[in-house]
Structure 1
Amino acid sequence: MTQSTVAFHRHLGLLDDSSSGHKKSIKLAPPLDWKSFMITSKIQVDDLESLMVKMLRKVDVTPANARDIAWVFKTMTLRGVGHHDIGSFPGIIRNLRDGVFNPRPKIKTVVSKQATAVMDADNAPGTLAAFRMTEKAILKARKYGIGIVTMRNSNHFLGSAAYNLLAAEQDMIGITMSNTLASMAAHGSKDKAIGNNPWGFAAKTGAEFPIMLDIANAYASFGKLFDYMNNNWDIPREWGLDELGENTSDPSRVLRGGVSLPMAGHKGFGLAIMVELLTSILAGGAITENVRMNSLEGNGHSQASIVININHFLPVATFEDRTKEMVELLHNHEPLDSEKPVLLPGERSYTSRKKLADEGIVLNQKTVDELTQLLDELNIRT
């Protein structure tokens, strides 16, 4: 057991704050059993959330904003996919500490007209900007039946799932998307032309789990490519090109001088353009190759939230009955493999959320080491 694992697993408190628009409170967990904790590097969800809030407060994030950023990271981590989750949190802390992100952004509404709005993130962390954007879209949908809100001058939002679940909890359908820095080739090209521009949707159903999709328009996101590289796994050759413009099975060649390819060729490319239209074009933000990662110059990511109020179409109970019927119809189809039943988007994530919420989250050693180093640098002690 490394010293960093021991140091990381210290009991941390939570600053109390009730000013956030997000209604869910974070309860302080009982003292941890450090012996079992250090053996497995496992942390309970509430303790992880408390830790993130504590670290965010140390880099000058307000209590309300810290709580909402931590909620996004917790929600994304509970999907259990191994990327776009807590592993990205140390980078957020470093960027806030070093002034790359604005720890005290003045997120403002630039234009507001009935069901629509344009917002400016003021170089906020993308997780905070997208959370505030979704909140506004929900409010507009509650009043007008639909809310469409765009955000410019933001940063990486992690993924769409958390924000769409936020809308789904309000008996609405959430659709969230973001442009990103250019990392994907145009169909028929071998140069970086456009971001993989992730998007997704979520809605509650009458079944046990919500329907939820969270994807990028490339065959694989950067996070997934890094995951494959770190595990020394080959990738399918159609996922990307190397620095010579040749298909490769080596994810490191794609990441170091190569380029990702759009999923299903022209279809993925077309969807990336759709996201670009609904985010940067409507928001007045940086477009395609002009987007910069962690930029201080107003050319960061743009996002969009579309929230649909189910009650403006039919009663929520009727919607749930109809979606339950849809789920049952789809589940009833014979699988190719009898041991692998037909699963709907969001079903695996729901199972993971329940399991991790009950059993705790196992952190990989890299994440433990990074968090431990930051705890020392930020002088966080119990």
Structure 2
Amino acid sequence: MDKKYDAKALAAFATGLFEAAGLDEAKAGTIGPLLVEADLMGHTTHGLQLCAPYLKALDDGTMEKEGGPQVLSDRGAVVTWDGRRLPGVWLTARAVDLGVERAKLYGTASIAIRRSHHIACLAVFLERATRAGCMVQIASSDPAVSSVAPYGGTEPLFTPDPIAVGIPTGGDPILIDTSASITTNGLTGRLHGEGKKLPGAWVQNAEGAASDDPAVLFTDPPGTILPIGGKEYGHKGYGLALMIEALTQGLPGHGRADPAEGWGAGVYVQVMDPTAFTGEAAFTRQIDHIVERCRANKPVAGGPPVRLPGQSAIAKRAASSSGGVALYPGIIDALAPWAEKYGLVPPVPISAS
């Protein structure tokens, strides 16, 4: 990861590609910058790496280009959309913005989306709410994909089922981005393609033996990604997966019980306005106290100071915004054919680290 690119140039390039592929200015202008935001924050498997697959989906018609979501239900504080296979990044950004607007009215707001296309990195949506002083949670699953077995099983059933939470504070927000599984499809796929191993025994083969080799996921029958807690305590990740699938498939009413429609997502967004509870000052007092207690906590001998979730991502974003984004090798190369197809010029590196 030695080549660095100007973040604004990357965002403009991605936006231009999506516009050339048929998306309107609002959709393209949302998706391009948010993919780059993921790379800025260090989430390299869920940033611009997804641009080429998204362009392919637009090209072959598996991602819808025109119009907006169908409103299935709107009861003020609770909204359900049929995403109609529209770009998931755009749908999720709209859902968070609507959640903030409604939470300011009702105190809390929940938006469930079925039949969304893939939504990329959950962390990049969180500050849309925390900047407005709201707490937000976002969850996602893909009912058409299975790569994680239920605890004690060996057959794929769930996706990694990510969940993210944004918590406003008196300073930088807390940005939690985790999942019900130990690792993701994006990372295992990347490492398998590069012939590399995982940092730990995060997967299991088809017989249920734990492994650090992502190749076990690509056998016939396939192995599976382990839930959080691994072989010993995977019941914790299993329970979390069930909750996330209920939020993202049960509430919007579309999921694994329906015919698979291809790569996509079920999405759940909930926004909470602290002013509707005991007030912003009381909320901030409690959260800032916890933050300070965490930071003051004595670290492991020889280890770094305790940090808050999102602290590293925010620091990376600041450094990359000023010094350039270090893209993972191969991302620009994967976009070169699309740039040629649409008559666009890829950005050139501004430096090499």
Return the match for 1:157 from 119, 137, 148. Answer: 119
Separation in 1, partners of 2:92, 2:237: 23
Q: What is the percentage of aligned positions where both structures have the same residue?
A: 22
Q: State the partner residue of 2:107.
A: 145
> Does structure 1 retain, via aligned residues, the 8 Å contact 2:38–2:44?
no
Q: State the partner residue of 2:225.
A: 260
Q: State the partner residue of 1:103.
A: 65
Q: State the partner residue of 1:42.
A: 4
Separation in 1, partners of 2:205, 2:45: 22
Per the TM alignment, residue 332 of structure 1 is displaced from its structure 2 partner at its CA by 1.2
Per the TM alignment, residue 337 of structure 1 is displaced from its structure 2 partner at its CA by 3.6
**Structure 2 CA distance for partners of 1:381 and 1:159, relative to 1, 3 Å:** closer
Per the TM alignment, residue 289 of structure 1 is displaced from its structure 2 partner at its CA by 8.6
Q: State the partner residue of 1:242.
A: 205
Per the TM alignment, residue 381 of structure 1 is displaced from its structure 2 partner at its CA by 4.8
Q: State the partner residue of 2:351.
A: none
The letter for the 2-side match of 1:326 is I
Return the match for 2:247 from 278, 283, 290. Answer: 278
> Does structure 1 retain, via aligned residues, the 8 Å contact 2:141–2:266?
yes
The letter for the 2-side match of 1:274 is M
Q: Deviations over 1:321-359 (max 9, x none)?
A: 432221111111111143411111111111111111111
Matched, 1:334 2:259: no
The letter for the 1-side match of 2:185 is F
* 3-state SS in 1 of match to 2:247: helix
Matches within 5 A, 1:223-242: 223-230=186-193, 232-235=195-198, 238-242=201-205
Q: Deviations over 1:246-277 (max 9, x none)?
A: 32221122244221111121110111110111
Q: Which runs of 5+ in 1 are unaligned?
A: 1-38, 295-299
The letter for the 1-side match of 2:160 is N
**Structure 2 CA distance for partners of 1:74 and 1:157, relative to 1, 3 Å:** same
The letter for the 2-side match of 1:286 is G
**Structure 2 CA distance for partners of 1:327 and 1:100, relative to 1, 3 Å:** same
Q: Deviations over 1:49-108 (max 9, x none)?
A: 111111010011000111111232122222113221111111111111221201114312
Separation in 1, partners of 2:322, 2:279: 33
Aligned length: 338
Matched, 1:366 2:330: yes
* TM-score of the pair, normalised by structure 2: 0.89
Per the TM alignment, residue 312 of structure 1 is displaced from its structure 2 partner at its CA by 1.1
* TM-score of the pair, normalised by structure 1: 0.83
**Structure 2 CA distance for partners of 1:57 and 1:157, relative to 1, 3 Å:** same
* 3-state SS in 2 of match to 1:345: coil
Q: State the partner residue of 2:160.
A: 196
Separation in 1, partners of 2:175, 2:205: 32
Return the match for 2:96 from 134, 150, 165. Answer: 134
Q: State the partner residue of 1:68.
A: 30
Separation in 1, partners of 2:51, 2:206: 30
> Does structure 2 retain, via aligned residues, the 8 Å contact 1:185–1:262?
yes
Q: Deviations over 1:8-52 (max 9, x none)?
A: xxxxxxxxxxxxxxxxxxxxxxxxxxxxxxx95321111111111
The letter for the 2-side match of 1:250 is D
**Structure 2 CA distance for partners of 1:270 and 1:332, relative to 1, 3 Å:** same
Separation in 2, partners of 1:164, 1:293: 26
Per the TM alignment, residue 134 of structure 1 is displaced from its structure 2 partner at its CA by 1.6
Considering only aligned residues, what root-mean-square deviation do their CA atoms show, in Å? 2.1
* 3-state SS in 2 of match to 1:42: strand
> Does structure 2 retain, via aligned residues, the 8 Å contact 1:150–1:303?
yes
The letter for the 1-side match of 2:318 is K
Separation in 1, partners of 2:217, 2:36: 29
**Structure 2 CA distance for partners of 1:49 and 1:293, relative to 1, 3 Å:** same
* 3-state SS in 1 of match to 2:45: coil
When structure 1 is superposed on structure 2, of 283-292 and 87-96 the one drifting more is 283-292
When structure 1 is superposed on structure 2, of 117-126 and 97-106 the one drifting more is 97-106
* 3-state SS in 2 of match to 1:343: coil
**Structure 2 CA distance for partners of 1:255 and 1:217, relative to 1, 3 Å:** farther
Q: Which has the higher contact order (CA 8 A, sep 6+)?
A: 2
Q: State the partner residue of 2:185.
A: 222
> Does structure 2 retain, via aligned residues, the 8 Å contact 1:106–1:121?
yes
Q: State the partner residue of 1:20.
A: none
Separation in 2, partners of 1:258, 1:184: 9
* 3-state SS in 2 of match to 1:139: helix
* 3-state SS in 2 of match to 1:220: coil
